[in-house]
Amino acid sequence: MSDDMQQGRNVSDTHEMEPVEKPKAAGLSRRKFAKAGLLGVPLIMTLNSRPVLGAYQCTVSGMMSGNLSNIDPNVDQCFSKSEGIWRSKSVLGHQASDGSYPDHYWPAPFTPETRFHDYFGTSIYDYGEASFIEVMNSSEPVNKGGLGISDDHNVGFKAVGSLLNAQFYGQTYFGYDADWVINTWDTWSGSVADLADFFSALNHRWDDESPHPKNG
């Protein structure tokens, strides 16, 4: 197995990150982490959140610390959408006869048809030639667009959700960039269950308040 298959590749290797227009403000609170279950995940404090000026408050450690010295007054809300929203018909649009989704609202350079291992390595789970959307539907039967398999804790499904959140909302409003999501997957040494829980909790932090990708 080649090194690039094992480690995947970074988004910044081949693509420019496009800035995301600032969404409407709505307020943020530590209670979001409790609601999403993040405060109960022991691995959180060991993660390298890579905070940057103006984005620190949207990382897990930034929200938990309450350190006002790193707060950007222009960033008064953080955003994310659940992995289920990114897989929903309202985001994917209609499916063409060739199985593609030409009218999707995923952030470039990602598409539902993008091969999962073009970006993520195989150290956590090997999905072969499966696309992002196939991985997100991996537990579904083949006749319903899935792979007919069940990876541990649907970790690939949740990782794609975090990747799309990072690319769509940007590091300032999601707290992490797409390269960080990929690197976390590729270098993870803990349990698959913890990784799946972490990605899912990130995605659900502000699901109710965040603008829908279709309206972003």
Give me the pLDDT at residue 74, please: 56
Share above pLDDT 70 across residues of the chain, in percent, rounded to a whole number: 56
Q: Which residues of the chain have pLDDT under 70?
A: 1-10, 12-57, 60-76, 139-150, 207-211, 214-216
Give me the pLDDT at residue 103, please: 95
Q: What is the pLDDT of residues 184-209, one digit of tens each?
A: 999 998 889 989 998 998 898 876 66
Tell me the three-class secondary structure of the chain, residue by residue.
Answer: CCHHHHHCCCHHHCCCCCCCCCCCCCCCCCHHHHHHCHHHCCCHHHCCCCCCCCCHHHCHHHHHHCCHHHCCCCCCCCCCCCHHHHHCHHHHCCCCCCCCCCCCCCCCCCCCCCEHHHCCCCCCCCCCCCEHHHHHCCCCCHHHCCCCCCCHHHHHHHHHHHHHHHHHHHHHHHCCCHHHHHHHHHHCCCCHHHHHHHHHHHHHCCCCCCCCHHHC
Kindly report the pTM of this predicted structure.
Answer: 0.75
Give me the pLDDT at residue 172, please: 83
Q: What is the pLDDT of residues 115-152, one digit of tens each?
A: 999 999 999 999 999 999 999 988 665 666 556 666 77
